Amino acid sequence: MPNGSLDKFISKSMSTKMEWERLYEIALGVSRGLEYLHNRCVSRIVHFDIKPQNILMDKDRCPKISDFGLAKLCKNKESIMSMLDARGTAGYIAPEVFSKNFGGVSHKSDVYSYGIVILEMIGVRNIENVEIFGSNNSSMYFPDWIYKDFDRGDNMRIFGDQITEEEEKIAKKMALIGLWCIQTNPSDRPPMSKVIEMLEGNLEALQVPPKHVWSLPTTTVPESVEDSNETLSLSNPSQFERGNKRVW
């Protein structure tokens, strides 16, 4: 994998003009890989640790999902899985993985992690723009910036001043899909087959997903099956403002 992991690949490309088409192809490639694991294997495989560090780039910059140390097999592809311990990396773990209050653990937990990766792909490249066009609070939950930009209708300035009309369409599509994938309720997230359909479809067919209100208290979650000092901000389900429910 001569191009290393996705996180290093993106960071290295931030100093130059990275083509949005390339980002789109990477996002599509990862979605196809996850769809294969979820639907085309004899036993469904849930990865549980989807993050940029576990996505490797080959010589043709084709993404490959790696590190299945936390993966779990699902016999007969049952929808809900039993979990004894939370697993994954802080910041990418789906809420239901460490709290049953958010729903059952399933392949939709990988969908959540994928959504975070997509938002990170389009977000880390323009963090300075986030601070300029938003507020002085650079630690604000990044998806909030995207919702705010959609509400303002100022043509997604967060994605850069030099972005072309075609690149803006790609950025908007990836942003909307990322927001759908990180919905708090697992049933509101699209399966990976639907994600592929959304990526390959028209931007006009995508709607802005309902926005949830996140509270401030933090809950400590493990970075892996071992332990970690990192924390992830999540609220009690009763504190969320839910929009119209969509079941995929």
pLDDT digits (tens, 9 = 90+) for 209-244: 987 655 433 444 444 444 443 433 333 333 333 344
Catalytic residue, from 49, 110, 149, 188: name it: 49
pLDDT digits (tens, 9 = 90+) for 159-204: 666 778 888 889 889 999 999 999 999 999 999 999 999 999 999 9
Phi, psi of 65 (to 5 degrees): -75, 130
What's the whole-number mean pLDDT along residues 32-50?
95
What's the whole-number mean pLDDT along residues 99-108?
91
pLDDT digits (tens, 9 = 90+) for 4-14: 999 887 776 65
Q: Is 49 a catalytic residue?
A: yes
Q: What is the pLDDT of residue 162?
A: 72
What's the whole-number mean pLDDT along residues 139-147?
65
Domain 6-239 grouped into CATH 3.40.50.920: no
Q: How far is CA 121 from CA 14, 41, 52, 75, in A?
A: 11, 28, 9, 33
Two tokens, residue 114: 């994928």
Are 187 and 103 in contact by the 8 Å Cβ rule? The answer is: yes
What average pLDDT does the chain have?
Answer: 77
Cα dihedral angle (127, 210, 173, 160), rounded to 10 degrees? -20
What's the whole-number mean pLDDT along residues 97-117?
93
Q: What is the pLDDT of residue 92?
A: 93
Which of the two residues, 38 and 237, has the higher pLDDT score? 38
